[in-house]
Structure 1
Amino acid sequence: MEKTISISIYIFSFLLLLPFSYQQYSSNPDINALLTFKSASDLSNSLTTWNKSTNVCSWSGVSCIRNRVSHLNLEGLSLTGSFEALASLNELRILSLKQNYLSGSIPDLSKLKALKLLFLSHNNFSGEFPASVLTLYKLFRLDLSYNNFSGQIPANINHLTRLLTLRLEENQFSGPISTLNLPTLQDFNVSGNRFSGEIPQTLSRFPETAFQRNAVLCGSPLVQCKSITSDPSKPGAIASSLSPIGSTPAIVSSSPTEEPGVLTPISVSSHSGKGKLSLLAVIAIIIGDVLILALISGLLYYYFSRKMAGKSGNRKNSQLLETEKIVYSSSPFRSQQGSGFERGNLVFFEGIKRFELEDLLRASAEMLGKGGFGTAYKAVLDNGDVVAVKRLKEIQIGGKREVFEQHMDTLGKLRHGNVVSLKAYYFAGDEKLLVYEFMPNGSLFWLLHGNRGPGRTPIDWTTRLKIAAGVARGLGYIHHYSSQSPRLSHGNIKSTNVLIDSTGAPRLTDFGLSAFASPTIMSRSNGYRAPEASLDGRKFSHQKADIYAFGVLLLEILTGKCPLMSFEGGGSAGVDLPRWVQSVVREEWTAEVFDLELMRYKDIEEEMVGLLQIGMSCTSVSPDQRPSIGSVVRMIEELRGVEEVSPSYESFDSMSESPSFSEDRTV
């Protein structure tokens, strides 16, 4: 009897689960679309895992978010025909069909509103530029290269304001490109087509290889354009009013010719010797050789001596990593005492005195690091409390003590989960101290770059993305704390100024001090400095410069590379991180930019690419092309899968875009 009951319960449970299982597969529109595409295009049966008996999210080349297909990577599978069936995957974010044999015109993709990356290169597609692509306003990457497309590029392609990649090379596109105006582009190529006319100034920043093999395309970086006075009625005449200087329409010369307007190599004629070299000339040659040998020997000696000194001076080199720690037997804050010492008061912001000035002066201190605005110490008071103390230097206050105190009062009111709280300050004579709450887990710099070797515990992707989101929220709070002008900026964003609290949350420190920075500090380049801030005498937005520095920080999180270091493949030392990333991405869209420590994690490619796009957008050379901090917060939270963003961040953009609202002060 019991056995019969058990069997009945099993059968009943199976019957209950069967409709649910059937409904799960039959009601999912993605499955039917994928199987329809497979039956029509996979004649070589490359997609062997695509069948109804398995979960669609486990199929080869398929990735899902919340059980909907979001990422489809079907490269080099000998697929043929059209991919119209895939146009109904309305949750698709990445579609890569490159290196197949797909043909015909591009189907209507207007339903793919979430699409961000579209790679269709190395196929046999034909027809005009796909009009439906112009409705995909979230698109970041578009690659139609190595196909048979023809016709002109529509002017409303400029509506794709997020576009970072536009690859159209090796097609049969024609007409002008002078209307193209996509300032956000990082990767662009139209070589091997039939374009004509002048290259617009907005695209002249790209290399010559991006425009080659277009017979009547001219302008920087190609040859200069000139007017054509040919008679249009004559055979072979070109209707365009511009052509490369020195070129003959429809005729390509196979050898250099001396035509007006063509730059030809300068020939250096050597006079035939009329006699032997004089004794004086021989002596001069010998002396020159000796001097050159001496110079080379001196340079070699200098190089090897510096190298040996570097090995013996590792302690000095460690300052680059800001790792040197010095424990003082007594407080370093006493040094200003003595004759003429002006006694000041310790001003607290929270209204409650936690300790006296004497307690701070008696505290033992450990140096945490040196920065542009001074030296930071960990101070342990007699009662066991621990605080961080920053001893300011190279700041310009002059006699404006009231201005300093008012600014400190503003900074002391900042209270946010991603901002280190300023607890108190001390001002007396040349001694200026800031007292912060102590962060016990070090800085983001050490998480990313510390102990890069055996035994290192790498920082995982979830933690990196959480830190990026936290820093963005903290920066947004600083930027929009006050509605008065001038508005606050951080002024010194870098990985050493992102501290980690006891819960693992990132906290911004060293904020607001650039208001008193000396020209010496502001002239230093640490890899985070915005290009416009380096131009002498130019006014610039401090908040836009913060966005640039935050973008560098995002690239540092993604690449694991320090902005101060040289890069493999990046040329000589001094190539900054944004330029290196752009050069790698422009060369080919690969995973070479990402930190090797991230390669161990699965299903994070889309999030890494998304964060990279945000970082590259923030580091745009043009300040006006950088996103607002509110937009940055929302984009990062979207990557993390956070559906709702705090209303305070939603209001950031509306405040910034108001015509009556001054963004921040300019210098």
Structure 2
Amino acid sequence: MAMATHKFLHFFVLLSLLPFILSQPSSNPDFKALMAFKIASDTTNKLSSWNETADLCTWYGVSCIRDSVQRLVLEGLDLQGSFQPLTSLKHLRVLSLKQNRLSGTIPDLSNLSALKLLFLSYNEFSGEFPASVTSLTRLYRLDLSYNSFSGQIPVIVNHLTHILTLRLEENQFSGPIAGLNLPNLQDFNVSGNRLIGAIPPSLSGFPITAFDRNSVLCGLPLLRCNNTVTDPSRKVPDGAVASPLSPGVVSSSPGTKPQVSGANEQGNGHHSGARKMSTLAMITIIVGDLLLLALVSFLLYCYFLRSYVAKMRDDKGFGLLEREKIVYSAGPYPSQGGGGDRGKMVFFEEGGSKRFELEDLLRASAEMLGKGGFGTAYKAILDDGNVVAVKRLKEVQVGGKREFEQHMDLLGRLRHPNVVSLKAYYYARDEKLLVYAYMPNGSLFWLLHGNRGPGRTPVDWTTRLKIAAGAARGLAYIHNSYRSPRMAHGNIRSTNVLLDNVGNACVCDYGLSVFASPDNVPRSTGYRAPEVTDARRLSQKADVYAFGVLLLELLTGKCPFVMDSAPGSGYGGAVDLPRWVQSVVREEWTAEVFDLELMRYKDIEEEMVGLLQIAMGCTSVSPDQRPKMGYVVKMIEEIRGVEVSPSHESFGSVSDSPNVSDDTGGGVSQ
């Protein structure tokens, strides 16, 4: 009897605890929504991992941040019906349900205010364009292609000011698209619909494939509009299609006569004559337009040619004349005291390097690469095919030839895969040239900010992280190359991070700040540390600050010096990039910091946040709080998953304290 009573009590306790036990896996508020979706849509039980015994954040296709479902990717699982239950996942940022059999109209999505990526292509959705999508103001990517949507594409789509991708191809959308204006759009396609009318100028830069298979759509990049049917209510006779090439309706079969408005046909002969007259008049007009255009073009050519020649005649610098030959001003090396101080090329010993003289540079074919705070850089192709980069120093103050040569000797001994090597220099009283190894793939600045708009290939996250690591290694090597004197780069910025032939980042323009004149404040202050007041005395800590700004530039896609002069920023008419990032992060909108072009990549948010934390540490207002570059290298490589082995040759000691530095703050002292 006692045994039976004991078993009954044990059973009663278990029964009373059962609701509590069963409630534990489902304590997450998103559990109910996901299970409701599975029950309604997963008829083939493809989501077998979705069960009450496992944490939902470990379920197939589910990703969480702090126990909230942030990403749901369920592609090609034969899911059916509606995804209405998922609209209660208020923290959802990525939703991809591509290649299923979901159907019906799109449910109200206004609750998904954090959504950034929405992919619903290759399903069986129908109805009109989902109006609730336009309330998702943070949306970057929208793909509704290969469904059965109908009706017009509403102009309120323009409310999606952050949208980068809009894919609506292979549906049944109709009506005009002339009102669409999405300035940040990079990926756009409305082909295979029933759209009519003119393509707006804001979309004309996309390729033909973005618009084809819309029989009544016209304008660039398609054929020019010519009285095209633009009224969606206008009826087209059976068996005919409206053509953007003619004002009438073109017959789709030989037995259907085209409609003709205007004059009444009296006979075939009269009609034929009118057609011939019309053709002759058209030819006359076209020829006249061509002649007028040729005359205007000739006059403009003469005007601009004369201006160009006058400009080049007045140019006293290191210009591009006579088929891009380098030409100096008349008599750059005047005779002095009989023999004159012409100077000579001084080379640094490097295995296999080819020697050349100043005359070889004078004969070299050249093109200007850019202008910086210390001079103009040129790409020079010597007669023997050797390619170098030549920097002509200007607005520099050199105490004397000996001081210049001693400093060049320090710079010339720097050899590292992530540092652009100084191959030679030329010194004369009135002319100073630096010859560097040529980097064929341009600068980080051009990679990030050049060719923005349709057709641009964005810089992917892996490449940005690789560039950050390479530039950090190069800068750390410069910092650790000499114990005395301590060396600082002095001019870290995206234009001074170049890419070699395999895409490795290399820092250039290092060690030249010691020659800056007292009044030569850098034109762009976006990278300048707040404690810097003298352009000649840039410390290693100031380099770390500038490198932190460079990391923010990689993460945000914004130019520091553009933001530095932007009005209406809330900081007295100007704001620098670090302060803007800090203000956004303080408001807990960290995701708004990152470049829109990075939002297409999956599973990188943690890495981006990690690099952002490094950048914010580097841009600390207090120099003592900034990490040493060796430690920065270590942290970046940890994000990349690369094991770092301490080596003086690579980037210096990474075992030092992350904050302590024996940098004296004096740049390069002689």
What TM-score, normalized by structure 1, do the two folds share?
A: 0.52
Residue of structure 2 aligned with 1:328, choices 321, 330, 333: 321
Residue by residue over 1:258-281, the C-alpha shift from the partner in whole angstroms, topping out at 9 and shown as x without a partner, is xxxxxxxxxxxxxxxxxxxxxxxx
Tell me the CA shift for residue 582 of structure 1: 1.3
> Secondary structure in 2 aligned to 1:458?
coil
Give, in whole Å, the separation in 1 of the partners of 2:482 and 2:509.
18
Give, in whole Å, the separation in 2 of the partners of 1:500 and 1:640.
19
Give, in whole Å, the separation in 2 of the partners of 1:595 and 1:464.
11
Residue of structure 2 aligned with 1:553, choices 550, 553, 558: 550
> Secondary structure in 2 aligned to 1:389?
strand
> Secondary structure in 2 aligned to 1:520?
coil
- Pick closer, same or farther for the CA change 1:402–1:608 going to 2, 3 Å: same
Q: Is the 8 A contact 2:319 2:327 kept in 1?
A: no
> Secondary structure in 1 aligned to 2:542?
helix
Give, in whole Å, the separation in 2 of the partners of 1:512 and 1:478.
9
Tell me the CA shift for residue 592 of structure 1: 1.2
Give, in whole Å, the separation in 1 of the partners of 2:392 and 2:28.
69
Q: Which residue of 1 aligns with 2:666?
A: 665
Residue by residue over 1:333-366, the C-alpha shift from the partner in whole angstroms, topping out at 9 and shown as x without a partner, is 4651345462111000025552122111221221
Tell me the CA shift for residue 75 of structure 1: 6.0
Q: Is the 8 A contact 2:477 2:651 kept in 1?
A: no
Q: Which residue of 1 aligns with 2:442?
A: 442
Q: Which residue of 2 aligns with 1:413?
A: 413
Q: Is the 8 A contact 1:374 1:394 kept in 2?
A: yes
Residue by residue over 1:592-651, the C-alpha shift from the partner in whole angstroms, topping out at 9 and shown as x without a partner, is 111111111111111111111111111111111111112211111111111344444685
Tell me the CA shift for residue 483 of structure 1: 1.9
Q: Is the 8 A contact 1:488 1:664 kept in 2?
A: no
Residue of structure 1 aligned with 2:560, choices 556, 563, 587: 563
Q: Is the 8 A contact 1:348 1:424 kept in 2?
A: yes
Q: Is the 8 A contact 1:472 1:629 kept in 2?
A: yes
Q: Which residue of 1 aligns with 2:32?
A: 45
RMSD of the alignment, in Å? 3.6
Give, in whole Å, the separation in 1 of the partners of 2:598 and 2:25.
32
Tell me the CA shift for residue 523 of structure 1: 5.5
Q: Is the 8 A contact 1:619 1:626 kept in 2?
A: yes
Tell me the CA shift for residue 372 of structure 1: 0.3
> Secondary structure in 2 aligned to 1:343?
coil
Give, in whole Å, the separation in 1 of the partners of 2:636 and 2:553.
16
Give, in whole Å, the separation in 2 of the partners of 1:502 and 1:37.
56
Q: Which residue of 2 aligns with 1:631?
A: 631
Q: Which residue of 1 aligns with 2:398?
A: 397
Give, in whole Å, the separation in 1 of the partners of 2:368 and 2:30.
68
Say how many residue pairs are matched: 382
Q: Which residue of 1 aligns with 2:154?
A: none
Q: Is the 8 A contact 1:530 1:545 kept in 2?
A: yes
Q: Is the 8 A contact 1:565 1:573 kept in 2?
A: no
- Pick closer, same or farther for the CA change 1:636–1:51 going to 2, 3 Å: farther
- Pick closer, same or farther for the CA change 1:76–1:389 going to 2, 3 Å: closer
Q: Is the 8 A contact 1:62 1:72 kept in 2?
A: no
Q: Is the 8 A contact 2:624 2:659 kept in 1?
A: no
Residue by residue over 1:12-43, the C-alpha shift from the partner in whole angstroms, topping out at 9 and shown as x without a partner, is xxxxxxxxxxxxxxxxxxxxxx9995245559
- The aligned amino acid for 1:389 is V
Q: Is the 8 A contact 1:328 1:366 kept in 2?
A: no
Q: Which residue of 2 aligns with 1:360?
A: 361
Q: Which residue of 1 aligns with 2:493?
A: 494
Give, in whole Å, the separation in 2 of the partners of 1:355 and 1:437.
14
Q: Is the 8 A contact 1:492 1:511 kept in 2?
A: yes
Q: Which residue of 1 aligns with 2:622?
A: 622
Q: Is the 8 A contact 1:376 1:391 kept in 2?
A: yes
Tell me the CA shift for residue 524 of structure 1: 4.1
Considering only CA atoms, is the larger Rg found in Structure 1 or Structure 2? 2
Q: Is the 8 A contact 2:343 2:428 kept in 1?
A: yes
- The aligned amino acid for 1:617 is G
- Pick closer, same or farther for the CA change 1:362–1:58 going to 2, 3 Å: farther
Give, in whole Å, the separation in 2 of the partners of 1:619 and 1:76.
30
Aligned-residue sequence identity (percent) comes to 62
Tell me the CA shift for residue 327 of structure 1: 3.6
> Secondary structure in 1 aligned to 2:32?
coil
Q: Which residue of 2 aligns with 1:349?
A: 348
Q: Which residue of 2 aligns with 1:476?
A: 476
Give, in whole Å, the separation in 2 of the partners of 1:451 and 1:545.
31
Give, in whole Å, the separation in 2 of the partners of 1:466 and 1:411.
25
Matches within 5 A, 1:493-572: 493-522=492-521, 524-534=523-533, 542-566=539-563, 570-571=569-570
Q: Is the 8 A contact 2:526 2:560 kept in 1?
A: yes
> Secondary structure in 2 aligned to 1:331?
strand
Tell me the CA shift for residue 60 of structure 1: 5.4
Q: Which residue of 1 aligns with 2:431?
A: 431
Give, in whole Å, the separation in 1 of the partners of 2:48 and 2:471.
44
Matches within 5 A, 1:30-429: 38-41=25-28, 45-48=32-35, 52=49, 59=60, 61-62=62-63, 72-74=66-68, 327-329=320-322, 330-333=325-328, 335=330, 336-340=332-336, 342-350=341-349, 353-399=354-400, 401-429=401-429
Q: Which residue of 2 aligns with 1:598?
A: 598
Q: Is the 8 A contact 1:417 1:474 kept in 2?
A: yes
Tell me the CA shift for residue 545 of structure 1: 0.2
Q: Which residue of 1 aligns with 2:464?
A: 464
- Pick closer, same or farther for the CA change 1:388–1:57 going to 2, 3 Å: farther
Give, in whole Å, the separation in 2 of the partners of 1:506 and 1:39.
49
Give, in whole Å, the separation in 1 of the partners of 2:665 and 2:59.
50
- The aligned amino acid for 1:357 is L
- The aligned amino acid for 1:45 is K
Q: Which residue of 1 aligns with 2:4?
A: none
> Secondary structure in 1 aligned to 2:459?
coil
Structure 1, unpaired ranges of 5+:
1-33, 64-70, 78-96, 101-311, 316-324
Tell me the CA shift for residue 574 of structure 1: 3.0
Residue by residue over 1:162-186, the C-alpha shift from the partner in whole angstroms, topping out at 9 and shown as x without a partner, is xxxxxxxxxxxxxxxxxxxxxxxxx
Give, in whole Å, the separation in 2 of the partners of 1:349 and 1:624.
36
- The aligned amino acid for 2:429 is G
- Pick closer, same or farther for the CA change 1:640–1:403 going to 2, 3 Å: same
What TM-score, normalized by structure 2, do the two folds share?
A: 0.52
